[in-house]
Structure 1
Amino acid sequence: MQLLLIRHAQPEYARVNLGRADPSLTEQGLVQAGRLVEALAPYRIARLFSSPQLRALQTAQPLADRQKLPVEQIKGLAEYDYDLDHYIPFETAKELGSDAYKRILAGHLPDFVDAELFRTRVLTSVDQVVSSCAHEETAVIVAHGGVINIVLQDLLGLELPLTFPIEYASVTRILVSRTGRRRVASINETGHVRDTLRV
């Protein structure tokens, strides 16, 4: 089977007084999400999975509409910031020069994250997707930069959890053999949204 790992499109900055922040996409993000429809048109997509976070669900929706597929939410595919009362887009964090930004840039998870717990729930959730799909199927997972990086760290045997700067609405392809062996076919394909991304 084939897994297409999609990072959500560009989200808004968000901060709330109570509960957790769950930002929607920006206007640019909605454009990026729309472009995924044509970018993924060559694939015969059988299943569509998503993180429960709004930015991922909104990214998945145009594809779901075109493919006439339900969006199957899996909480374990949520980003490590799921319970925070704020969301700061990476480009804004860079401008602020935050400690979290510096850690992420160096390839490390923010210090508030239980790295092993995050890794375990992400890999368990991806296993759940693979086991629920037929071998000949192509499945899409719309998730987050941290989630995709954890999958790549596991498959490539990387030391750092955040090695790759996964771009908004990018496509990373994973191939799964009949024996269950997984290999990385591509990382961070962005041709369909290159003009919408910051350099």
Structure 2
Amino acid sequence: MQLLLIRHAEPNNARSGNGLPVDPPLTEGGRRQAERLPDALAPYRITRLFSSPQQRAAQTAEPVAATRQLEVERVEDLAEYDYGLDHYLTIETAKNVASDAYDRIRAGELPDFVDAELFRTRVLRGLDHVVASCDHSDTAAIFVHGGVVNVVLQDLLGLPRPLMFPIEYTSVTRILVSRTGARRVASINETGHVRDTLRV
């Protein structure tokens, strides 16, 4: 089995102003990034599609779902650590308006409002659900978030901190699952298909 962990494309910033959760969509640039995914993923015999419940991940999956004529199964456990908050800031925005959180993320740590163990446990449970839902011959594309990809990599590689990789928009990270259930990392943060759209 092969799992393609795909980070969502570029989203908008959002703040509710009334304490209600926000769920921002992709920017126009993010939609253009997502539209490159069908060609980028053409070499893979994708048989299943999964997504975080958050709009930025689900919208990133749409071009692939349309091209492959596959349904997207949303998995709540694969939501990002900001799920349910009343605001969302891209990392570029956080650098200027939420410097403490930005500095923690750049140092490889989750923001201080996140219960790291609960988040990790939830994400790994979500990934276990995907694996259990698939046949061994399947290749599953899973549209998620930078924090989700990172905690999966932390678990598989035994890394000391949860956010060790700067996972880029629409990047592809490949995980192989053997018949015994053993998992190993095949590649991390493949970005050739959107390299010209990423901020340096």
TM-score, normalised with respect to structure 1: 0.98
SS of the equivalent of 1:63 reads helix
| Partners of 1:112 and 1:69 in 2: CA distance | 36
1:56-135 matches, cutoff 5 A: 56-96=57-97, 98-135=99-136
For structure 2, list consecutive stretches of 5 or more residues without a partner in the other structure: none
SS of the equivalent of 1:193 reads helix
Partner of 1:31: 32
What letter is aligned with 2:33? Q
What letter is aligned with 1:4? L
SS of the equivalent of 1:45 reads coil
Q: State the Cα distance separating 1:93 from its structure 2 match.
A: 1.1
- What is the CA RMSD across the aligned residues, in angstroms? 0.8
| Partners of 2:98 and 2:22 in 1: CA distance | 21
| Partners of 2:110 and 2:127 in 1: CA distance | 19
For 1:82-110, what per-residue CA distance to the aligned partner results, in whole angstroms no more than 9, with x for missing partners?
01100000111123352111100000000
SS of the equivalent of 2:187 reads strand
| Partners of 1:2 and 1:97 in 2: CA distance | 37
The 10-residue stretch of structure 1 (15-24 or 118-127) with the greater mean CA deviation from structure 2? 15-24
Partner of 1:188: 189
What letter is aligned with 1:3? L
What letter is aligned with 2:13? Y
| Partners of 2:39 and 2:95 in 1: CA distance | 31
TM-score, normalised with respect to structure 2: 0.98
What letter is aligned with 2:67? R
For 1:58-96, what per-residue CA distance to the aligned partner results, in whole angstroms no more than 9, with x for missing partners?
000110000000110000000000011000001111233
With over 3 angstroms needed to count, the CA separation of the structure-2 counterparts of 1:97 and 1:20, relative to structure 1, is closer
Which aligned segments of 4 or more residues in structure 1 are displaced greater than 3 angstroms?
none
For structure 1, list consecutive stretches of 5 or more residues without a partner in the other structure: none
SS of the equivalent of 2:192 reads coil
| Partners of 2:185 and 2:193 in 1: CA distance | 20
Partner of 1:8: 8
| Partners of 1:31 and 1:113 in 2: CA distance | 31
Q: State the Cα distance separating 1:21 from its structure 2 match.
A: 1.1
SS of the equivalent of 2:151 reads helix
Q: State the Cα distance separating 1:120 from its structure 2 match.
A: 0.4
What letter is aligned with 2:9? A
| Partners of 2:62 and 2:72 in 1: CA distance | 8
Partner of 1:55: 56
With over 3 angstroms needed to count, the CA separation of the structure-2 counterparts of 1:123 and 1:48, relative to structure 1, is same
| Partners of 1:60 and 1:20 in 2: CA distance | 22
What letter is aligned with 1:5? L
What letter is aligned with 1:17? G
Q: Among the aligned pairs, what percent are the same residue?
A: 71
